[in-house]
Amino acid sequence: MLEVKDLEVYYGAIHAVKGISLRVEDGQIVTLIGSNGAGKSTTLHTISGLIKPRSGNILFDGTDITGTPAHKIVASGLVQVPEGRHVFANMSVMENLDMGAYLRKDKDGKRVKQGKWDSRELTGGEKITIKDGRNVYEKHEVQATTIEPKLKVEGTGAIEYVQTWGVQGRSEVWVGEQSGKTQDRGEVVPATDCIVACASVAPKGNEKVVALTFDEGPSGATKQILQVLKEKGVTATFFLSGDAAEASPATAKAIVDAGCEVGSNSYSDDSLKGEDRETVRKQISKGTDAIKSATGVKTMLLRAPYAAFDEQNWIDSMDLVSAVVSWNIDSGDWLLNGADEQVSTVLDSVTPGNIVLLTDSDECSEQTLEALPQIIDGLIADGYKIVTLSDLVKTDTALSKKLTSLTKVTMPKNAVFPQLAENDDTTE
């Protein structure tokens, strides 16, 4: 009986086998099925002792063989026959079979010791020397193919960030220098897919915290908004448009001086979705540069115009963006439907960890300035603490461990931009 328990196998930082468990009873035939890179070959190689697992156990007939050398596992009766079907070309079929069974008992019931095989005569008078029992391959050319990582988006929520960076894998085909025969070695190094995680803030202990955020500024109303925040003793996060920051750098700087947090609303109000890579990167970079020039703060926190940011946008710009943030509650001030409606929209639907959207623009400034103090007073009266986005994330223990900085990111040197999965369709 063969039993595998919670097997974990790594190739460096690559997590190739993730907690696999299986059981094969005597007389059973069990098949491992999966796509390229699923870990089939790695699992078999680990069972055979060719790869050491990081954790987990392998039991054969009740004996723990985890970490046992491969030749001892073979001697115990656990044998792997890999694809390729390599044989000794100059030996007969029977001689090849005899070689494969050298650890078995002979006709007299005596086990032939490995050392006795040095210069053993075969039926045809040939001699062969067994040195260390390792596989011996024909000299060969290695034809390597790069396996590109795919992009996967997991979860739901108002905050998106790169949780796992994409790393290239490699598959190999060996071509014999003399025979010309080929052997497909498969994925010798599996690719690590890039994972963009989506989450909403879940404060520890359901603490009543909320973040107020403002889009499109700075505007002619910004200083008045800052005055309201100061009077109420709270701070907020402002997503600045790069062109607006260029036009009013002193006002943009006043936001930072007031103790508020700044992020980017891109350079202009143009949607990023559907644009080519060059345009997307230019809009994000130009916005970041304009905000830094005006405020002295380099932020990689992005709220895409109209919250339109898809998988292809991530692929094009993940080295430029620490996180993409939308909202949980839209106050609707941009609809110009009256301050009372805005106040009730926020206060009637707020829950701990929410991100509230407000607008810092000249067009809706009158209603926003009327509604803002009422929203703040209502939240405080209900026991809420109003904080910046970065401080909001810190209240979620699990999220803050994964998203160590909301405003900064560095793409690892070994990471590459992923590709869309074949079944992804980002067109509308």
Give the lowest-confidence range in 16-25, 32-41, 410-419.
32-41
* 234 and 368 fall within a common domain: yes
Q: What long-range pairs does 224-228 form, CB within 8 A, spacing at least 24?
A: 224/365, 224/369, 225/360, 225/368, 225/369, 225/372, 226/254, 226/255, 226/258, 226/260, 228/369, 228/372, 228/373, 228/376
Cβ proximity of 219 and 361 under 8 Å: yes
The whole domain housing 288 covers 200-420
Residues 261-275 have a mean pLDDT of 94
Percentage helix, strand, coil, to 5, in the chain?
Answer: 30, 25, 45
Largest CA distance in the chain: 102
Q: Of 82, 99, 127, which marks where a domain is finished?
A: 82
The span from the CA of 257 to the CA of 240, in Å, is 15
* 364 and 376 fall within a common domain: yes
- Tally of domains in the chain: 3
The CATH number covering residue 206 comes to 3.20.20.370
* 73 and 188 fall within a common domain: no
Q: Of 54, 82, 110, which marks where a domain is finished?
A: 82
* 321 and 273 fall within a common domain: yes
* Structural element, H or E, at residue 162: strand 159-164
Please report whether residue 129 resides in a domain: no
Which pLDDT belongs to residue 204? 96
* 397 and 255 fall within a common domain: yes
In this predicted structure, the answer to whether residue 117 has a pLDDT above a threshold of 50 is: no
Tell me the sheet residues that pair with 118.
none
In this predicted structure, the answer to whether residue 406 has a pLDDT above a threshold of 50 is: yes
* 259 and 347 fall within a common domain: yes
C-alpha 301: how far from its chain's center?
18
Which pLDDT belongs to residue 44? 87
* 212 and 355 fall within a common domain: yes
* 172 and 315 fall within a common domain: no
* 303 and 246 fall within a common domain: yes
Please report whether residue 335 resides in a domain: yes
Please report whether residue 132 resides in a domain: no
The verdict on pTM exceeding 0.75 is no
* 246 and 285 fall within a common domain: yes
Going by pLDDT thresholds of 50, 70 and 90, the confidence category of residue 127 is low
96 or 340, which is more confident: 340
In this predicted structure, the answer to whether residue 108 has a pLDDT above a threshold of 80 is: no
Which pLDDT belongs to residue 119? 43
Give me the percent of the chain exceeding a pLDDT of 70: 87
* 204 and 150 fall within a common domain: no
Please report whether residue 127 resides in a domain: no
The CATH number covering residue 74 comes to 3.40.50.300
* 159 and 214 fall within a common domain: no
DSSP 55-76: EEEEEETTEE-TT--HHHHHHT
Please report whether residue 280 resides in a domain: yes
Average pLDDT taken over every residue of the chain: 87
Name residues whose C-beta falls within 8 Å of residue 101's C-beta, 6 or more positions apart in sequence.
none
Most confident of 29-38, 91-100, 239-248: 239-248
Residues 185-200 have a mean pLDDT of 94
In this predicted structure, the answer to whether residue 276 has a pLDDT above a threshold of 70 is: yes
Please report whether residue 120 resides in a domain: no
One-letter amino acid identity for 424?
D
